[in-house]
Amino acid sequence: MNLKDVFQTKTVFSLEVFPPKSELATQKLLNSLTGIQSIKPDFISITLGAAQMDIQKTVNLATAIQEQLSIPAMAHLTGLYLSKQQAADTLSILKESQINNILALRGDQVSNCPPVGDFKYAAELVNFIKCHGDFDIAGACYPQKHPESSDFVADTLHLKEKVNQGASHLITQMIFDNEAFWQFKERLQLANINVPVEVGIMPCTNHQQIQRITALSGIQMPKKFTNIMARYADNKEAMRDAGIAYAIDQIVDLVASGVDGIHLYTMNNPENAQRIWEATHTLFEAQNKQLAYPL
Which residues form the interface with ligand FAD (CB under 6 A)? 47-48, 50, 76, 78, 103, 105-108, 121-123, 140, 146, 148-149, 154-155, 158, 162, 171, 173, 200
- Determine the Cα–Cα distance for residues 153 and 184; give it in Å rounded to an integer: 11
Contact at 8 Å (CB) between 262 and 12? yes
- Measured from the CB atom, the residue of 146 and 233 that comes closer to ligand FAD is 146
Active-site residues, by number, are 16
Whole-number minimum distance, CB 251 to ligand FAD, in Å? 16
Nearest to ligand FAD of 171, 276 (CB atom): 171
Q: Taking the complex as a whole, how short is the minimal distance between the CB of residue 121 and ligand FAD, in angstroms?
A: 4
User: From residue 83, how far is each of 89, 97, 113, 121, 127 by CA, in Å?
Assistant: 10, 21, 14, 13, 14
Q: How far is the CB of 50 from ligand FAD (least distance, A)?
A: 5
Least Å distance, CB 187 to ligand FAD, is 13
Helices (H), 97-222: 122-130, 152-164, 178-190, 207-217
Q: Which is nearer to ligand FAD, 195 or 242 (CB)?
A: 195
For ligand FAD, the closer of residues 152 and 182 by Cβ is 152
Residues 6+ apart with CB under 8 A from 158: 121, 123, 149
Rounded Cα distance, 15 and 263, in Å: 6
Measured between alpha carbons, how far is 157 from 134 in angstroms, rounded to an integer? 25
